[in-house]
Structure 1
Amino acid sequence: MGVLLDDVAVIVPAFEPDERLSSVLNEVQNRVGFVVVVDDGSSKEILVEGVQGRCFVVRNTKNKGVFDAIRAGLEHAKNIGAKIGVVMAADGQMAVHDLEKMVFPIAVGHADFVKGNRLSHDCCPRAMPLLRRIGNYFLTFICRLVCFASEIMDSQCGYMAFRLDMLDRLPLFWIYPRYGYPLELIACVYGCGLRIAQVTTRPVYDGERSGISVLGAMVLFPFVAIRAMALRAFCTARRILQG
């Protein structure tokens, strides 16, 4: 594709990371201009010795949730001169080889926000555990309904790219920072009128377990869905009033 990645920052939210964080950093450090690791209140300070180039660590004094870490990383990336921010997990669940594809729609001016889509990848039935795949299809269906986002193919994918000069248009502080944040983020992106692109990305799993129980999801999801509908309505109304 020939996309210049010098203006790209990879944002890595991390809470109590293991050795996979070093693998992620080693893979991305020579591909992009900036790397921003957000330590979301880990009990041990995250160190990035041996990482070449412009690697920054932003630290939260306590655990505030994954989306709060993402927001802090995006804002830091914007402040240090990056133009595009790509979110990648500290556990290696995002395929680094898809990075250029994620950046491309923004780099060529076709999108303001890019969402990864694992469910359409050829290897998804083999790579993604069955229960997770069913859950992702269900949550994506609900997302389409409550966010009026019929085009979304994989609402829960955390592999995302942002055009950083558009951040001020998104009320990121209002998004619930923990379970369910993808739903509220999509609601805000649609409501604020950002151009959205989706890129098929390879699903990567290595025995990871979900951080929330089925019961916890059942309790929290209606709350998140109602908030997402409200955010979609508010952002749409604000955009219309602002012309």
Structure 2
Amino acid sequence: MYRALRIAVVIPAFNERGKIADTVATVPAFVDHVLVIDDASRDNTAEQAEQAALRRDEPARVEVLRHPVNRGVGAAITTGYRRALALGVDIAVVMAGDGQMDPDDLPALLDPIAAGDADYVKGNRFLDPAIWTTMPASRIVGNVVLSAATKVTSGYRHVFDSQCGYTAIHATALSMIELDALFPRYGYPNDLLSRLHTAGMRVRDVRVRPIYGAAWRSGIHLGNALHPIPWVLLRSWGHRIASQVRRRVRGRGHEANVAPIARVMPVAAPTAP
């Protein structure tokens, strides 16, 4: 537990052989549940995660869930979220299975939620000066462009580094999101931000360390990312605007129903002192 709150770490993984074991092994001891979601990997990612749990004598804390077919990183995270809710945790954290997220940053993600200051906290690698020397230039450009677009479509103008997947969410906020409607692949974080805004959730950015080792290789290809994300952003923006319109219409309908009643209600005459 962390500050009297039960914590689950959701680890989506696809072909992370050689990385997943170290990721599982470095999850802090205060985490109650480690949920590895193997998205139909073609290697032995799931087996390595299970072996890592056995080596640390933590088979009860680590659970490996397997998708029979590849459904996408967003769908894998959703599977982890559902399991976390079923386990009754208070906060669900997402960490990548490739060791790209520093477990020492986990308290920074949890503290705003534990203090009651946020419902969803996401990492922002651009708050760390090391990003300019560690993240490849092409990814910096892509992140800046997508972050700017996500500011507009999500409604969270203060949020940056939209593609950073290191996040924490309170179970109450998670239960208010229609998980089945979330985009299942690489546009998932952009879609989630928009839906959180529609639900009135408070979102915070916190500094996290960017990690790009010599052996690191992104699973995101330009075709995978650029093809769906503009459509996801447009869909998310449309969903947010439509929700705002529906709320306004309902509000006007309520006012229209109340106004005639107010006009016909008798007003008592003032009594003499």
TM above 0.5, yes or no, is yes
Alpha-carbon distance, 1:5 to partner: 6.9
Q: 1:235 to 1:36 in 2, by over 3 A?
A: farther
Q: 1:85 to 1:203 in 2, by over 3 A?
A: same
Alignment check: 8 A CA contact 1:93 1:205 kept: yes
Q: 1:238 to 1:95 in 2, by over 3 A?
A: farther
Task: Give the alignment of 1:57-96 within 5 angstroms.
Answer: 57-96=64-103
Q: 1:111 to 1:26 in 2, by over 3 A?
A: same
Q: Which of 92, 98, 106 matches 2:113? A: 106
Q: Distance in 2 between matches of 1:100 and 1:154?
A: 19
Q: Which residue of 2 aligns with 1:223?
A: 231
Task: Give the alignment of 1:9-28 within 5 angstroms.
Answer: 9-28=8-27
Q: Distance in 1 between matches of 2:168 and 2:93?
A: 4
Alpha-carbon distance, 1:217 to partner: 3.9
Q: Distance in 2 between matches of 1:187 and 1:25?
A: 30
SS state at 1:46 partner: helix
Q: Which amino acid aligns with 2:207?
A: T
Where do 5+ consecutive residues of structure 2 fail to align?
255-273
Moved more, 189-198 or 144-153: 144-153
**1:38 and 2:37 are equivalent in the alignment:** yes
Q: Which amino acid aligns with 1:55?
A: V
SS state at 1:82 partner: coil
Q: Deviation per CA, 1:74-103, whole angstroms, max 9, x where unpaired?
A: 110121121100000000111110001111
Aligned-pair identity in percent equals 35
RMSD: 2.3
Task: Give the alignment of 1:116-195 within 5 angstroms.
Answer: 116-195=123-202
Q: Deviation per CA, 1:37-89, whole angstroms, max 9, x where unpaired?
A: 11111234613132425111122111111011101101101211211000000
Alpha-carbon distance, 1:122 to partner: 1.9
Structure having the larger proportion of residues in helix: 2
Q: 1:229 to 1:27 in 2, by over 3 A?
A: same
Alpha-carbon distance, 1:209 to partner: 3.6
Compute the TM-score of the two structures, normalised by the length of structure 2. 0.81
Q: Which amino acid aligns with 1:144?
A: K
* Larger radius of gyration between Structure 1 and Structure 2: 2
Q: Distance in 1 between matches of 2:14 and 2:4?
A: 26
Q: Distance in 1 between matches of 2:151 and 2:110?
A: 24
Where do 5+ consecutive residues of structure 1 fail to align?
none
Q: Distance in 1 between matches of 2:37 and 2:146?
A: 27
SS state at 2:227 partner: helix
SS state at 1:11 partner: strand
Compute the TM-score of the two structures, normalised by the length of structure 1. 0.90
